[in-house]
Amino acid sequence: MSQNYYLPFISKPIKTVLKPLQEIGVILFSSLLVAAGLNLFLIPHQLLSGGVTGVASIIGYITGWNISVVYFLLNVPLIFWGWKAVGRRYIVLSCVSVVSATWFMAMIPVIQITKDPILAAVFGGIISAAGIGFSLRVGGSTGGFDILGSIVTRKWDVPMGNFLFLLNGIVILTLGIFRSWDLALYSMLSTFVKGKVVDIIHVGHIKVTCFIITKQKDQMLCQLRKLHHGITCIHTEGGYSEQENYTLMTVTTRYELAAVRKTVVQTDPDAFMNVVQSTEIVGRFARPKL
């Protein structure tokens, strides 16, 4: 019997094992970025990154307590709450992120890379946001306000970055009241940059409509239904070729667009696909599980 016969039976278990390991690897790298953004750029200038990290930083600046320990303790109740509200897999990845970020913050020394607070605010925001965005891409989070943001963006089509910017603004106002308005304004700049970078990386709230023109309607429908989104089928005719075909319309997210494209190409290499961004959706929409 050919060795190729056994490949599907071997490759599937390998993929099942490798995918979680890959996700955990991304989470660990994301936590490293978040910790580096804090300890190398924001904390040396007593700036805030917002969120639970910002709350922990304020407490640490005022009391002198270890910020990494405060960060961990503040995340514990949010993780327990998110276990029921969001999903087990998401919270498990978030737990890995919180624990690893706490460890990285304890291991990375607080060093002032730049003396310019504006540069510290911008680059601290970019590096931290990259960590948050990559974590969200694999279905996890860095804990804290990210859990709240994931719940809100899952329920309503609100950009994650905008929601986090609103919550972080409240935290930063607290810094201005109790510490310094200069520090608060620098922190606001960092938070604004972070929000924009998160929205560039985390595009789960962005919906797109795919129009697929094919002659292999039944095969295409069979494969597209595996993606768990509704499909509208229209009997059409080519304006130039005058040949009968079918137009399939489905709405999906930016995350899932690659899977749709792969399905279309593999099912019918001669199919035509047009993708447009959806500005608003009214009605039921199946969202990917976290």
List the strands of the sheet with 207-214, edge to edge: 231-237, 244-253, 207-214, 272-278
Fold for 207-278, please state it: Alpha-Beta Plaits (3.30.70)
- pLDDT tens track of the chain, all 290 residues? 455 554 454 545 555 566 778 888 888 999 999 899 989 998 899 887 767 877 888 888 788 888 878 888 888 877 777 776 666 777 788 788 888 988 998 899 989 999 999 999 999 999 988 988 888 777 777 777 777 776 676 666 666 667 777 777 788 888 788 778 898 888 888 888 887 887 777 666 678 899 999 999 889 998 888 887 888 899 998 888 888 899 999 988 777 787 888 889 999 999 999 999 877 777 666 665 55
pLDDT at 249: 92
Question: Longest Cα pair distance anywhere in the chain, in angstroms?
Answer: 76
Where along the chain do its domains lie? 3-201, 207-278
The residue whose two tokens read 């974590």 is 135
pLDDT at 247: 93
